[in-house]
Structure 1
Amino acid sequence: MTITRAVSLCHWGAFEADVENGKLIATRPMEGSGADPDMVGAWPHMVYSDQRVSQPHVRRSYLEKGIAAGGGGRGHEDMVPVEWDVALDLVANELKRVHQDYGPTAIFGGSYGWSSAGRLHHARTQVRRFLGAAGGFTDQTGNYSWGAAHALLPHVLGTANAVARDATSWETIALHGETVVAFGGLNPKNWRVSSGGAGEFHLPEKVLEARKRGVKFFILSPHADDVPAGLDATLIRPRPNSDTAIMLALAHQALTSGRADLAFLQRYTTGSEVFCAYLRGDTDGIPKTLDWAAGLSDVPVSELNGLWEAISSGRVMLSAAWSLQRADHGEQPFWALIALAALLGQIGLPGGGFCFGYGSMNGVGADASKGFVPTMPMLPNKGMAIPVARFVDAFLEPGKTIEFNGRRVTYPDVKLVYWAGGNPFHHAQDLDRLSRAWERPQTVIVHEPWWTPTARRADIVLPATTSLERDDIGGTSRDPYVFFMPKLIDPVGSARNDIDIFRSLSDRLGCRELFDEGLDDRGWLKRLWDKSLEHGVHSGVDLPDFEELRRQNIIRIPAPLQPEVMLESFRSDPENNPLPTPSGKIELYSKAIAGFGYSDCPGHAVWIEPHEWLGSAPCGKFHLVSNQPAKQLHSQMWQVMAKGPAECRINPSDAKEHGISGGDHIVLKSGRGACRASALIDPSLRRGVLIMPTGAWYEPDAEGSIEQNGNPNVVIGDRGTSQLGQACAALSALVEIERETPAPGSF
Structure 2
Amino acid sequence: MTERWVPTTSHWGAYQATTDADGDVRVAPHPEDPAPSPLLRNVEGSARHPTRVARPAIRRSWLDNGPGPSANRGHEEFVEVDWDTALDLVAAQLDRVRGESGNEAIFGGSYGWSSAGRFHHAQSQLHRFLNTIGGYTASRNNYSFGTSQVLLPHVVGTVSSVLGYADSWETIRDNTDLIVAFGGLPTKNLSVTPGGVTRHTGAAAAADPGVEVAAISPLGADIPASGRWYSIAPGTDVAMQLALAHTLLAEDLHDTAFLQRYCTGFEVVAGYLRGDPDGVAKTPEWAAEICEIPAADIRELARRMAGGRTLVNVTWSLQRTEHGEQPVWAGILLAAMLGQIGLPGGGFGHGYGSMAEMGDSGPLLRLPTLSQGANPVRAFIPVARIADLLLSPGEEFQYNGQTRTYPDIRLVYWAGGNPFHHHQDLTRLRRAFARPETVVVHETHWTATARHADVVLPATTTLEREDLGAGRRDTHLTAMHRVLDPYAESRDDYSIFTALADRLGARHAFTEGRGARGWLEHLYESWRASLLDQGLEVPRFERFWELGRIELPEVAEQPPLRRFRQDPDSSPLHTPSGRIELFSATVDGFGYPDCPGHPAWLEPQHPRGGPLHLIANQPPTRLHSQGDVGAASMESKVDGREPVTLHPEDAAARGITEGAVVRLFNDRGACLAGARLSDRVRPGVVVLPTGAWFDPKPDPKRDGATVCAHGNPNVLTADLPSSRLSQGCAGQHAHVDVEPHDGPLPEITTRTPPPLGT
Could you state the TM-score of these two structures normalised by the residue count of structure 1? 0.96
The aligned residue for residue 686 of structure 1 is 682
- Give, in whole Å, the separation in 2 of the partners of 1:744 and 1:108: 38
- Give, in whole Å, the separation in 2 of the partners of 1:25 and 1:394: 41
Q: 1:661 Cα deviation (Å)? A: 0.9
The aligned residue for residue 14 of structure 1 is 14
The aligned residue for residue 390 of structure 1 is 385
Alignment partner for residue 329 of structure 1, among 301, 320, 323? Answer: 323
Q: Do the aligned partners of 1:13 and 1:35 also contact (CA within 8 Å) in 2?
A: no
The aligned residue for residue 592 of structure 2 is 598
Output aligned runs, 1:427-438, within 5 Å.
427-438=422-433
- Give, in whole Å, the separation in 1 of the partners of 2:138 and 2:37: 36
Per the alignment, in what secondary structure is the counterpart of residue 484 of structure 1? strand
- Give, in whole Å, the separation in 2 of the partners of 1:632 and 1:425: 16
- Give, in whole Å, the separation in 2 of the partners of 1:603 and 1:740: 47
Q: 1:52 Cα deviation (Å)? A: 0.7
The answer on 1:655 being equivalent to 2:675 is: no
- Per-residue CA deviation, residues 393-445 of structure 1 (Å, 9 max, x unaligned), is 11111111000001111001111110001101000000011011111001010
Output aligned runs, 1:158-557, within 5 Å.
158-162=157-161, 164-207=163-206, 210-211=209-210, 215-228=211-224, 231-383=225-377, 384-557=379-552
Q: Do the aligned partners of 2:614 and 2:736 also contact (CA within 8 Å) in 1?
A: yes
Q: Match of 2:667, as an amino acid?
A: G
- Give, in whole Å, the separation in 2 of the partners of 1:722 and 1:745: 38
Q: Do the aligned partners of 1:612 and 1:732 also contact (CA within 8 Å) in 2?
A: no
Q: Do the aligned partners of 1:59 and 1:77 also contact (CA within 8 Å) in 2?
A: yes
Per the alignment, in what secondary structure is the counterpart of residue 32 of structure 2? coil
- Give, in whole Å, the separation in 2 of the partners of 1:556 and 1:209: 27
- Per-residue CA deviation, residues 555-575 of structure 1 (Å, 9 max, x unaligned), is 11244558x756111111111
- Give, in whole Å, the separation in 2 of the partners of 1:586 and 1:275: 13
- Give, in whole Å, the separation in 2 of the partners of 1:251 and 1:385: 38
Q: Do the aligned partners of 2:185 and 2:206 also contact (CA within 8 Å) in 1?
A: no
Q: Do the aligned partners of 1:172 and 1:565 also contact (CA within 8 Å) in 2?
A: no
**Is the alpha carbon distance of 1:208 and 1:720 closer, same or farther for their aligned partners in structure 2, counting shifts above 3 Å?**
closer
- Give, in whole Å, the separation in 2 of the partners of 1:744 and 1:688: 26
Q: Do the aligned partners of 2:365 and 2:473 also contact (CA within 8 Å) in 1?
A: no
- Per-residue CA deviation, residues 186-231 of structure 1 (Å, 9 max, x unaligned), is 11111121211110111133346642xxx21110000110013xx3
The aligned residue for residue 565 of structure 2 is 571
Q: Do the aligned partners of 1:611 and 1:732 also contact (CA within 8 Å) in 2?
A: no
Q: Do the aligned partners of 1:120 and 1:525 also contact (CA within 8 Å) in 2?
A: yes
Per the alignment, in what secondary structure is the counterpart of residue 649 of structure 2? helix
Q: Match of 1:67, as an amino acid?
A: P
The aligned residue for residue 744 of structure 2 is 743
Q: Do the aligned partners of 1:174 and 1:209 also contact (CA within 8 Å) in 2?
A: no
**Is the alpha carbon distance of 1:20 and 1:650 closer, same or farther for their aligned partners in structure 2, counting shifts above 3 Å?**
closer
- Per-residue CA deviation, residues 535-565 of structure 1 (Å, 9 max, x unaligned), is 4234433211211211111111244558x75
- Give, in whole Å, the separation in 2 of the partners of 1:679 and 1:235: 24
Per the alignment, in what secondary structure is the counterpart of residue 381 of structure 2? strand
Moved more, 737-746 or 263-272: 737-746
Q: Match of 2:656, as an amino acid?
A: I
Moved more, 589-598 or 702-711: 702-711
How many residue pairs match? The answer is: 736
Moved more, 514-523 or 54-63: 514-523
Per the alignment, in what secondary structure is the counterpart of residue 90 of structure 2? helix
Identity of aligned residues (%): 45
- Give, in whole Å, the separation in 2 of the partners of 1:134 and 1:283: 54
- Give, in whole Å, the separation in 1 of the partners of 2:233 and 2:505: 57
- Give, in whole Å, the separation in 2 of the partners of 1:539 and 1:174: 31
Q: 1:745 Cα deviation (Å)? A: 7.2
- Give, in whole Å, the separation in 2 of the partners of 1:530 and 1:584: 38
Q: Do the aligned partners of 1:175 and 1:210 also contact (CA within 8 Å) in 2?
A: no
- Give, in whole Å, the separation in 2 of the partners of 1:675 and 1:163: 38
- Give, in whole Å, the separation in 1 of the partners of 2:542 and 2:21: 25
The answer on 1:717 being equivalent to 2:712 is: no
Moved more, 714-723 or 240-249: 240-249
Q: Do the aligned partners of 1:367 and 1:559 also contact (CA within 8 Å) in 2?
A: no
**Is the alpha carbon distance of 1:553 and 1:743 closer, same or farther for their aligned partners in structure 2, counting shifts above 3 Å?**
same
Q: 1:168 Cα deviation (Å)? A: 1.4
Q: Do the aligned partners of 2:167 and 2:344 also contact (CA within 8 Å) in 1?
A: yes
The answer on 1:40 being equivalent to 2:40 is: yes
- Give, in whole Å, the separation in 1 of the partners of 2:169 and 2:203: 11
- Give, in whole Å, the separation in 2 of the partners of 1:548 and 1:294: 62
- Per-residue CA deviation, residues 31-56 of structure 1 (Å, 9 max, x unaligned), is 23145464213323211111111110
The aligned residue for residue 629 of structure 1 is 619
Q: 1:90 Cα deviation (Å)? A: 0.1
Q: 1:24 Cα deviation (Å)? A: 4.3
- Give, in whole Å, the separation in 1 of the partners of 2:332 and 2:532: 36
Moved more, 152-161 or 322-331: 152-161
Q: Match of 1:192, as an amino acid?
A: S
- Give, in whole Å, the separation in 1 of the partners of 2:38 and 2:598: 45
**Is the alpha carbon distance of 1:399 and 1:745 closer, same or farther for their aligned partners in structure 2, counting shifts above 3 Å?**
closer
Stretches of structure 2 that go unaligned for 5 or more consecutive residues are 700-704, 749-758
The answer on 1:701 being equivalent to 2:697 is: yes
- Give, in whole Å, the separation in 2 of the partners of 1:276 and 1:233: 30
Moved more, 413-422 or 516-525: 516-525
**Is the alpha carbon distance of 1:428 and 1:386 closer, same or farther for their aligned partners in structure 2, counting shifts above 3 Å?**
same
Q: Do the aligned partners of 1:395 and 1:440 also contact (CA within 8 Å) in 2?
A: yes
- Give, in whole Å, the separation in 1 of the partners of 2:42 and 2:207: 29
Per the alignment, in what secondary structure is the counterpart of residue 4 of structure 1? coil
Output aligned runs, 1:103-142, within 5 Å.
103-142=102-141
**Is the alpha carbon distance of 1:482 and 1:86 closer, same or farther for their aligned partners in structure 2, counting shifts above 3 Å?**
same
Q: Do the aligned partners of 1:29 and 1:41 also contact (CA within 8 Å) in 2?
A: no
Q: Cα RMSD over matched residues?
A: 1.7
Q: Do the aligned partners of 1:401 and 1:409 also contact (CA within 8 Å) in 2?
A: yes
Q: 1:21 Cα deviation (Å)? A: 6.8
Per the alignment, in what secondary structure is the counterpart of residue 706 of structure 1? strand
**Is the alpha carbon distance of 1:330 and 1:547 closer, same or farther for their aligned partners in structure 2, counting shifts above 3 Å?**
same
Q: Match of 1:628, as an amino acid?
A: Q
Per the alignment, in what secondary structure is the counterpart of residue 151 of structure 2? helix
Q: 1:464 Cα deviation (Å)? A: 0.5
- Give, in whole Å, the separation in 1 of the partners of 2:216 and 2:555: 32
Q: Match of 1:261, as an amino acid?
A: D
- Give, in whole Å, the separation in 1 of the partners of 2:560 and 2:186: 22
